[in-house]
Structure 1
């Protein structure tokens, strides 16, 4: 006889694929939706909510087909030479909601850079995690984390400060004076292909934080018991696209899968850690049924032979 616990365990396994991402707190992937879930879109002097413009900002933030040919939808962010400032920068970016300091998060996304990036002369950020300054504190400072294209490399930059007020609101904060700025890791610029990044972090304005980064499934950086953001109450938020701190002379586009954000310690694996497709409901169901059949064969009694006493 098959024990009920085996049947139950295998049925749970067979049906569990629907709940594999039960800990997701934000799904901004463009093959799953549009801009409507994004808190803010900023480009060419415009700053609007994603809910108000679910199709994005024309020619600046758009949902398009994957340039690598997968037929999936991705985000194309475009900076056009001559664009005007948006919030003191030249940007085409989509921002998520705010996360509180102390939150533990997984961020997972992919980027694709066309060959034109090999000749871009101006430094650009293609992903940022920004903090929210406290009252009476200057907001003119580096993002707490940024992926920057510079000198044919991608660099992961981190900025942080232990003080409650990094600099007063009437003075721009300076790296090395008011806050610390460091390069965590870097990798070579590769164009014409998707690169996938995973970030696991506990945001902390003191030495209780940790930060881990993977590129295409390979761990690039790991640090525990270290501050990794500014000591602000309102928290941080993820944004990706293109950001230049000075006007560029060349128009350029960057593509993104859109970000997936998870909450929890070991409940989230995606993008770079699992570049193969997610298993389908059908395959998971079949695996569960195979498991039930296996236990059934193991537990079935052997029939007695006729006319033989045992």
Structure 2
């Protein structure tokens, strides 16, 4: 059984920094991890998630990231490698590697681009679960994958002993999180993947909500911790005001049609003293105009 307390409330999908030549900057990634811990912005690290730009990484690069970060942080913070790919075969391959490295929990995104049916999604995850002996957190993010893990599919998948949790990107389907809770066992954990839904998720799910997967925690992880603590201690109005104060900076990360906020998050991180880290093409850094607006919102929030 997954012990949600082990991973804390703030699971940060650590950015993957790239150099000017688009190679992975492993040294900078370790420095980013150090800053996250030093500033108390994270309870756990997720590697090669969406904010980690897994979609433009090779299998070999992902494995090296697992190795480098495990060596640097394995004794200090819980690490969850993202092992999902568009291919069932490749996902099994990468998940077996993570299992052999000693990780206890992996995160696997729904298969993307192929737009599989619900039966194909079920088959994909069941084959992976049968092939490995490691706990699995499913990752549902329809805005990127083009498919949704429907509650009826999750009900079936949750019967697998090693499928123990799901990360739900909830903004587009705010009611689905509660639907997931209705069709899964009490010990099945729901993680919210949307910074705009933190308090709503806690209000819907209570103890069923394991925590929050938040790329924004690179920037405001301390505020996220304070907001969660306020809510859980009954100071709901104060927590609500804090969530509202975060909305402008969250929204500005998606300006000009940028679906993935990582490009502007990386630019904001550099303003806050993190190592310089570029996104990997085809994603590009924020323009001067975009970053000027990000800087303005960061100042308004008091984090710059």
TM-score of the alignment, normalized to the shorter chain, above 0.5: no
The answer to which structure, 1 or 2, has the higher relative contact order (CA under 8 A, 6+ apart) is 1
Q: Which has the higher helix share?
A: 2
Q: Which has the higher strand share?
A: 1
In the superposition, the TM-score normalised over structure 1's length comes to 0.28
In the superposition, the TM-score normalised over structure 2's length comes to 0.29
Bigger radius of gyration, 1 or 2? 1
